[in-house]
Amino acid sequence: MKQMKLFLGPQHPGMHGNASVHMFVDGDIIKRSYLLPGMLHRGFEKAMERKLWVQNISLIPRVCVPEPDINEMAYAQGAEKLLKLEVPERAHWIRMIMLEFARISAHLMAYGGLGGPTGNYTLMYHAHADRNLILDIFEQISGARVYHQYIVIGGVRQDLPVGIEKDMHEFLDSLESRLGEYRVLGVDNPSIIVRVKDTIMLPAEVVWELGVTGIGMRSAVGRANDLRKVMPYARYDQVEFEVPISTYSDARCRVDIKIKEIQQSINIIRQCLAKMPEGPVRVKPGRGQSMRWTVPAGYVYSPVESSRGEFGYYMVSNGGTNPYRIGVRGASYPQGLLGIEKYLPGTRIDDAALWVDTMGVCSPEIDR
C-alpha cells in the first residue's frame, strides 16, 4: 500500500480562506487528513484586552470576515447583559434587519464558493452579483461596505436613512424571484449532483460527538435546533419564520437548506420593516464618559446564531475600563478541525474542498 503526502495548500483556487488541508492519499482516497490553521492568526484575544470597551468596537468586526455583524451583536449583547442595560425598541428591530442581511450575504457567498471546486464558475458570478447589491445597501446604512461598526453597546449607532425601505424591498423582490434559478443551477444541476449527492454524509451521532451546530446539525438531527427559536434574542419571538430541517445529511441537502434559509430570511426582513416602531435608537453614555465607561464584574457567554452555527463570545470583566478576557467561540471550530481529522478519511481528494465549503468552515474565526 503506497501512500503519498499532499496538501491542498493555502494557495489553491478551490480553497476558501487561508487554511490548508494536509493529507496522506492512496490513489484517490484519503487515508489521514489534518487541517492546518493559524495562517490568519492576529492575536485578537490579546488585543481586545488592551483596549477600552468602546475602542474594541472597531476591532471586533474583523474576527469573522464574511459576516461581520454577528461579532458586533455578540459583543454588544454580552456587555449589555453585564450592564443590565435595556436597549430601545427600535434598535432591536434594526439589529434584526442587519443580522438577516448579513446571513443572506454569507449564504450567497458559500453558495458561490461551491463553484470553485466543482468548476461551475457561473454560480460565483450570480451569487456575487447579488451580494454586491447587499453591500451597497450596507454602505447606505452605515457608511462602509464590509466592516460596519454599526451595532454598538447601547443600541445602534444611528437611525436608518430616509427612503432605504424602498431600496430594500426592491432588492428582496428581485432576489426572491431568482431563488428558483439558484436552485436549478446549483441543486438540480446534473453536473453538480454527481459531486454532491450522497457524499460527505454526517450521521446524527457524529454531530453530538463533534459539537457541530448550525446547518450541519439541522440537516442530520431533524430537529429545529436554532438559537433564534430556542432562546430568542432581539425580538425574534415576534416574527414568524420556519427553520428548514432534514434527516438525510449529504452535501446536496445542505446546499438545499441554504437556499431555503435565504427565503426565510427574506420573510423575516419584510416582517421587520412592517412592524418596526418609531423612537430613539441608542442609549448613549454620558457626555465625555465613553473613555471611562466601566462594566460591572461578571462572567457571561453570549451566543448568536450565525449562518454557520453557534457563534459566541465569552466575556469576563473585573469592573475595569478594559475587558479582562474575551474568548471567541468560532462557529466552524468543531467541524473544521475535528471534523476534517475524523470524518474526511475514506472520501476522495475532491471532497476535501467540498467539505470546507458545504460544512461552512471559515478560517478567520478558527484562528482569530
Identify residues 285-324 at the interface with other proteins (CB under 8 A).
298-301, 303, 310, 312, 314, 316, 324
Of the pair 44, 252, the CB lying nearest other proteins is at: 44
Of the pair 135, 164, the CB lying nearest other proteins is at: 135
Q: Cβ neighbours of residue 60 under 8 Å, at least 6 residues apart? A: 48, 71, 72, 75, 149
Spatial contact of 283 and 290, defined as CB atoms under 8 Å apart:
no
Nearest CA to 99 out of 241, 217, 254, 269 is that of: 269
244 near other proteins, judged by CB under 8 A: no
**Contacts with other proteins in 262-281 (CB under 8 A)?**
none
**Contacts with other proteins in 147-166 (CB under 8 A)?**
147
247 near other proteins, judged by CB under 8 A: no
Which amino acid is located at 129 in the chain?
A: A
Q: Which of 25, 56, 66, 362 binds other proteins (CB under 8 A)?
A: 66
Count of residues that interact with other proteins, criterion CB under 8 A:
71
Of the pair 178, 325, the CB lying nearest other proteins is at: 325
What are the φ/ψ torsions at residue 325 (nearest 5 degrees)?
-155, 135
125 near other proteins, judged by CB under 8 A: yes
Burial class (CB in 10 A: 0-12, 13-18, 19+), 85: middle
Spatial contact of 243 and 265, defined as CB atoms under 8 Å apart:
no
Spatial contact of 341 and 17, defined as CB atoms under 8 Å apart:
no
**Contacts with other proteins in 158-217 (CB under 8 A)?**
208-211, 213
18 near other proteins, judged by CB under 8 A: yes
4 near other proteins, judged by CB under 8 A: no
CB of 32 to other proteins, least distance (A): 9
What are the φ/ψ torsions at residue 277 (nearest 5 degrees)?
-85, 170
**Contacts with other proteins in 45-64 (CB under 8 A)?**
45-47, 50, 58-59, 62
- Cα–Cα distance measured from residue 182 to residue 184, given in angstroms and rounded to the nearest whole number: 5
Of the pair 157, 329, the CB lying nearest other proteins is at: 329
128 near other proteins, judged by CB under 8 A: yes
For residue 174, what are the β-bridge partners?
Answer: none
CB of 123 to other proteins, least distance (A): 10
For residue 348, what are the β-bridge partners?
Answer: 29
Of the pair 281, 304, the CB lying nearest other proteins is at: 304
Q: Which of 85, 135, 243, 283 binds other proteins (CB under 8 A)?
A: 135
Of the pair 132, 290, the CB lying nearest other proteins is at: 132
338 near other proteins, judged by CB under 8 A: yes
**Contacts with other proteins in 219-238 (CB under 8 A)?**
223, 225, 230-231, 237
**Contacts with other proteins in 104-123 (CB under 8 A)?**
109, 112
